[in-house]
Amino acid sequence: MAASIFSVRVCTWDAARAQARRIRELVFVLEQGVPPELEMDELDAHCDHALAYAADGAAVGTGRLLPDGHVGRMAVLKEYRGKGVGALLLLALVEQARSRGHAFVRLNAQIQASGFYRRYGFDVAGPGFMEAGIPHVSMQRELKPG
């Protein structure tokens, strides 16, 4: 599988800040037009962050796990999409939620990405809504022990 050339590290905001911020600014602010003041928030300091690295050591994707078990800010640089990076990030964050003892992991998916999350066991858990001018839907996955 192509994803094996990538690795993921879960770390604190202090360790992830520079790389995660760069990826999120490229994907959310520049590519998707999310206002910068909405993209960066005070929650980052309280989250676990996942960073995906290419074989050359470059950070190519990120995501975060909030203290309440919500996954958010999943972003993969355009040239690395479709190569398994998002799956590695998501699975690392789901495992982190499981290790914390969460019964569920939840997220707000952009509608266009909801199929991706369905492939990893997430189900729609509420009506659609707009966030930062982008259609989203709430999704969740039950975490079974083990």
pLDDT value, residue 4 = 66
- Residue 132 DSSP one-character state: T
CATH superfamily of 2-102: Gcn5-related N-acetyltransferase (GNAT) (3.40.630.30)
Distance in angstroms (rounded) separating the CA atoms of residues 77 and 60: 6
Domain boundaries, the chain: 2-102
Question: What is the token pair recorded at 89?
Answer: 């990030």
pTM over 0.85? The answer is: yes
pLDDT value, residue 146 = 58
38: confidence class by pLDDT, cuts 50, 70, 90: confident
User: What is the rounded average pLDDT of the residues 5-16?
Assistant: 96
